[in-house]
Amino acid sequence: MSEINQQGLPVTIITGFLGSGKTTLLNQILQNDSNQKVAVLVNEFGEINIDAQLLVSYDDDMVELSNGCICCTINEGLVEAVTRILSRGEKVDRLIIETTGVADPLPIILTFVGSDFREFTHLDSVITLIDAETFTPEHFNSEVAYKQIAYGDILLLNKIDLVDREQLTALETYIASIKNNPRIIHTQYAQVPLPLILDLGLTQIDNYAEAEHREHHHHHSHHLEADGFVSLSFESDKPFDVYKFQKFLNEGLPLEVFRAKGIVWFAGSELRHIFQLCGQRNDIKSEPWSTPPLNQLVFIGRHLDTDKLRQQLNDCLATSVTV
Ligand SMILES: Nc1nc2c(ncn2[C@@H]2O[C@H](COP(=O)(O)OP(=O)(O)OP(=O)(O)O)[C@@H](O)[C@H]2O)c(=O)[nH]1
């Protein structure tokens, strides 16, 4: 029996704030770790799981947990999903969990270090993505954004193509002020040699004993409300008018929207469009459809007027369809 088997299934948790590059990293791992059987658990805050659809391999090994956050409301779902993976006859080499951008990683960490799973799994490391362009010492006034860094064993300072040297140095100085000897790696599109992030055995279980005790006496399921994040999921089997949608992005999009992503269908186009918005930046890429066309979008932000936003999106739909 290999050393890994004796220790149980290696688990890697990928965390980081909204839009920091978690799915991009997961795709890097899946593309480069092709000799291994990787089970993936993708959790999204929103009713539609967009991330799962944007992964390079999307098959039976994927377990999606949508509409909630595994750190609180659907933690039971996490336990069930992991139990399912562990009880499959087929050998699995590792489990990777991508949390939502608004997840507190601690309850997820404790699910592995403080439960029956401890016998069958071992938490290898917690990887935290940080968007070097948008992250500031105010950490978006979000307690979870702070905790994601505090509990990260490896910090990937991502999107370095969008910042200058001074901004990077300022960020590193801030991180060093809140965390002892941080292990920081600079990345662009989350590209990192896998030996630098996998199978390192970095998570120190003993460090969590006290945290586990505290959590048992503490209700953490209200942090989303406290941070003020809400999500709107929009689906339609009618296409958007490309000009109306572009006008909406340029003039109508509420400033409160911090993150948006989705699969977009434009009237007159045969392609599926992948829409991504992080802060002030958005882009749309196109590729062929592998499913019947439809619109599926998620908008996340603080204090969103979801009714108004839904109406604005409905107004972007094309009145006549020419595909
Ligand atoms: N310029 C630039 N863009 C990046 C980089 N890494 C990721 N992105 C883009 O940032 C956007 C968000 O990346 P994701 O990987 O989806 O981020 P995420 O953390 O999974 O997002 P959520 O799960 O929705 O919170 C996408 O459009 C990526 O292509 C980078 O290093 N540089």
Residue 93 lies in a domain: yes
Residue 290 lies in a domain: yes
Question: Tens digits of per-residue pLDDT, 18-55?
Answer: 999 999 999 999 888 767 888 888 877 777 778 777 77
Element (H, E) at 304: none
- The gap from C-alpha 295 to its chain's centroid, in whole angstroms, comes to 21
| pLDDT for res 261 | 96
Percent of the chain whose pLDDT exceeds 70: 84
Question: Tens digits of per-residue pLDDT, 261-292?
Answer: 999 999 999 999 999 999 889 999 999 998 99
pTM: 0.89
Decide which of 224, 258, 283 is a domain's last residue. Answer: 224
The mean pLDDT of 132-154, rounded to a whole number, is: 92
Q: Are residues 291 and 154 in the same domain?
A: no
Decide which of 190, 205, 224 is a domain's last residue. Answer: 224
Task: Order the strands of the 257-264 sheet from edge to edge.
Answer: 229-236, 295-302, 257-264, 271-278, 281-288
Least confident of 40-49, 166-175, 190-199, 295-304: 40-49
Decide which of 189, 224, 259 is a domain's last residue. Answer: 224
Q: Are residues 77 and 94 in the same domain?
A: yes
Task: Order the strands of the 94-98 sheet from edge to edge.
Answer: 62-65, 38-43, 94-98, 9-16, 121-131, 154-158, 184-186
Q: Which residue type sits at 23? A: T
Q: Whose CA is nearest to atom 5 of ligand 1?
A: 189
Residue 167 lies in a domain: yes
Q: Are 233 and 298 in contact (CB under 8 A)?
A: yes
Complete DSSP assignment for 212-270: HHHHHT---TTHHHHHTEEEEEEEESSPBPHHHHHHIIIIIS-TTEEEEEEEE-BTT--
Q: How far is the CA of 195 from the centre of ligand 1 (A)?
A: 22
Q: How far is the CA of 158 from the centre of ligand 1 (A)?
A: 9
Q: Are residues 174 and 244 in the same domain?
A: no
Question: Tens digits of per-residue pLDDT, 188-238?
Answer: 999 999 999 999 888 777 777 666 656 554 544 444 444 778 899 999 999
Maximum separation of any 2 CA atoms in the chain, in Å: 63
| pLDDT for res 36 | 81
| pLDDT for res 86 | 84
**Ligand 1: does its nearest atom lie under 6 Å from the Cβ of 102?**
no
Q: Whose CA is nearest to atom 1 of ligand 1?
A: 159
Q: Are 260 and 73 in contact (CB under 8 A)?
A: no
- The gap from C-alpha 232 to its chain's centroid, in whole angstroms, comes to 16
Residue 268 belongs to domain spanning: 228-315
